[in-house]
Amino acid sequence: MSAASSPEAPKVQEGPNRRSFLARGAAVAAVPAVAALAGGAFAERASAATLPEYAPVPPSSLGPAVNAQGYYVGRVEKNLYWVTDAATAMAYPWKHFIGGHMGRLGTRDDMVVYQQYVDDLIVSVKQALTAIDPTPFFVK
């Protein structure tokens, strides 16, 4: 079968690479220094009276946009992909799990334990939300 007649691989969004991430981080870190050199409102010290009650959540912290099924598959490089949904990830025939913040590769069994942990955590948080009155924590 020739390359011209072979079916196309599904389109996968490319994830951010390390170089672009570091470049954006350096640009964001430079903004306060540039503002201080330029003077003006950004050079003044902030006070509790001028700060908002909360920090807005930047859109980039929400992660990549999910597809219609509710998860994201991103290509790292070559045939290495990452998936944002554990149940979807378990549908693929992978052998090694790179979960981050661990000193070793995980297995499919590790993913099952992880899913059980998250399910237990969700149940516990829901129980706590119904059992505790949070009002005293928000009163000034």
- Cα-based torsion angle of the residue sequence 82, 87, 91, 94 in order, rounded to the nearest 10 degrees: 50
Residue 106 confidence (pLDDT): 84
* Encoded tokens for 99: 């979960």
Higher pLDDT, 87 or 51: 87
Token pair 């981080």: residue: 25
Instruction: Report d(CA 124, CA 7) in Å as an integer.
Output: 47
Residue 37 confidence (pLDDT): 60
pLDDT range class, residue 71, cuts 50, 70, 90: confident
User: Residue 44 in contact with residue 51, Cβ under 8 Å?
Assistant: no
pLDDT range class, residue 2, cuts 50, 70, 90: very low
Higher pLDDT, 38 or 107: 107
Instruction: Report d(CA 72, CA 12) in Å as an integer.
Output: 9
